[in-house]
Structure 1
């Protein structure tokens, strides 16, 4: 539930809490999902988080409550990194929330996770989360849990908890911003716990697997393409020869039979690729945040290779998606000719859906990677 060691409660300055979570759109039409999201999460802020913080003199603010002029993205990053406490509503695994949470984990400062029951992302399941339901009694209970967590932290300090996946143990060490300072008597890092390079190695290994997945997708797509072209030529020849419908049906059935195995394989690989994408998303976003916070001349070769790998993977994925979309459309048109084609076409269409959702997320990684690479050159 809480990651870090202590809140600087002895300071004369009031403590600040930044609330990370979905915002929604206050200007959206009444009854729309965006408006409902806004009203729900505003209610969680006003009824649960803010009162719990105020009880201990902590001032809470959301992104839409930042009043200073300036670049809002930069301001949010500063609030995420510099605030004394962050409360993160991880309901639904919103990508922006997970990215900001990854940045927070880099600091090793206190972080409380809350989330609506049934809406919690599985990739941070190892971190305890205060769960709430949309009833008055449950919201009151969640507020009391936050109060108890803050009270215990102010009194005893917060035990260092291994953050989600990539950034485990990142701030334990001997630096000035370490969560456990030398000689403080704090918890020492386990000799076997992974460090930053170990975690990057895990990510790189998973990216290698994703690259292999994309190569398999490309190879299978080529096979499907060749079979489709061959079948199209055969059907055209039969049509021009005024062959009976039975002959054309035999050709379509033969095409469906040869298409079945590669279509099934394509769907399986695409599904695996999409699952791997979801599992890596928060970690890669956090890694990109770490690279962004590191001066370009201090990043090292490994970071550059990581960024290049993200961009190359995105390019390959976009090309594969275009090909699959084309064959999915072609095969779907042919499926109207015979029931034999329905199953392989269904698998191809499912593969296209898996890749579409996954590649949209990958495009965000690659966009950030390109931004970081382009920002390394000399300014004019």
Structure 2
């Protein structure tokens, strides 16, 4: 029931419990899936988890119960890492829940897994999990199982899990062996042991893909810029030759046709870039929060490389943002020339809007990364 295998923590009775799990939307329409999820998981919290903790003087809180103002992603990460106990509802394998659970495993602190029967994710099926069903009797049984797990842990000490995904190189508690020491038998001589950010491979891959997206975006904008310059020269020549309006319209129509393909490509790549940004945002912020909680001399090269990557990406993105911004203004003016330009300009404008929003968020990453890097070298 307690996530457990190889390490044992000798600590005082836990006082704070952070509950990780799906929350749903309390403002969604009655009868909607989001509202149903909110009511269900709130019921599990109020009727199963919180009462079990209260029996032992432990205060339980969910993310939506954090009272202090501030960055919610950072607050969640701090609660996940610093709380004495975490109860994680893994029903359905919610991505945010699984990521937060991974962060928790890094700390080596007590964690209890619960989940709705038939909704447990395959990749943690080997970890003992308290199962419940959506009936009052089964939920009462789950509460008693949590109470029993707490009683044993408080009495005998909580046995801790060291899953393969734990970031080896992070010290677990004061004076305790790190996961990398466990991997080499306690000698501390495993030079091939992963560093702090090795398990952030998914994030790093995503950042590499975003860099490739930026390169593709830059090339597309350059292509459209070249075609626009050529069209402008042609239009100037026609004007100087006092060409009829039909000739000028034909020139604009040809220009619209030539930029249609790169405009569509810009829209596609910009959408992918923005979607990747949205997907990675919580993970990157969580990684930054974890680095912030780790003493600079324990971070390792992987952490510094990660911070440097965020800052370098942002510098390139900010340069592109200047070009994209001015290009967006020009695109807006072009639409007045002819109806032929409306579709490609619409795609260009949509892409510019998505890119501007995503790059602004990237700037926030870089600002945090810069602060952490400067703090480490101060």
Q: Same fold (TM over 0.5)?
A: yes
Cα gap change, 1:350 to 1:303, in 2 (>3 Å)? same
The DSSP-based 3-state class of the residue aligned with 2:376 is coil
Q: Confirm or deny: 8 A CA contact 1:108 1:170 kept in the other structure.
A: no
CA distance in 2, matches of 1:44, 1:182: 36
Deviations 1:306-353 (A, max 9, x none): 2122012112223323433443443344345224541x3343244335
Cα gap change, 1:179 to 1:312, in 2 (>3 Å)? closer
The DSSP-based 3-state class of the residue aligned with 1:375 is helix
The DSSP-based 3-state class of the residue aligned with 1:60 is strand
Report what 1:296 is aligned to.
296
User: Which has the higher Rg, Structure 1 or Structure 2?
Assistant: 2
Q: Confirm or deny: 8 A CA contact 1:3 1:162 kept in the other structure.
A: no
For the pair 1:16 / 2:16, whether they are aligned, the reply is: yes
CA-atom RMSD in angstroms = 5.7
Report what 1:317 is aligned to.
317
Report what 2:189 is aligned to.
none
Report what 1:188 is aligned to.
none
Within 5 A, what are the aligned runs for 1:1-380?
13-19=13-19, 45-47=45-47, 49-55=49-55, 58-61=58-61, 79-87=79-87, 103-111=103-111, 126=123, 148=145, 151=148, 154=152, 160-161=162-163, 176=176, 178=178, 196=196, 198-199=198-199, 203-235=203-235, 238=238, 241=242, 243-245=244-246, 247-336=247-336, 337-339=338-340, 341-342=342-343, 344-378=344-378
Q: What's the offset of the Cα at 1:221?
A: 1.4
Cα gap change, 1:265 to 1:66, in 2 (>3 Å)? closer
User: How many residue pairs are counted as aligned between the two chains?
Assistant: 358
Cα gap change, 1:108 to 1:254, in 2 (>3 Å)? farther
Q: Confirm or deny: 8 A CA contact 2:88 2:113 kept in the other structure.
A: yes
Q: Confirm or deny: 8 A CA contact 1:102 1:289 kept in the other structure.
A: no
**Structure 2 spans left out of the alignment, 5+ residues:** 28-34, 184-191
Cα gap change, 1:170 to 1:181, in 2 (>3 Å)? closer
Q: What's the offset of the Cα at 1:146?
A: 6.7
CA distance in 2, matches of 1:149, 1:352: 51
**Structure 1 spans left out of the alignment, 5+ residues:** 29-35, 117-123, 131-136, 184-191
Given the two structures, how large is their TM-score scaled by the length of structure 2?
0.65
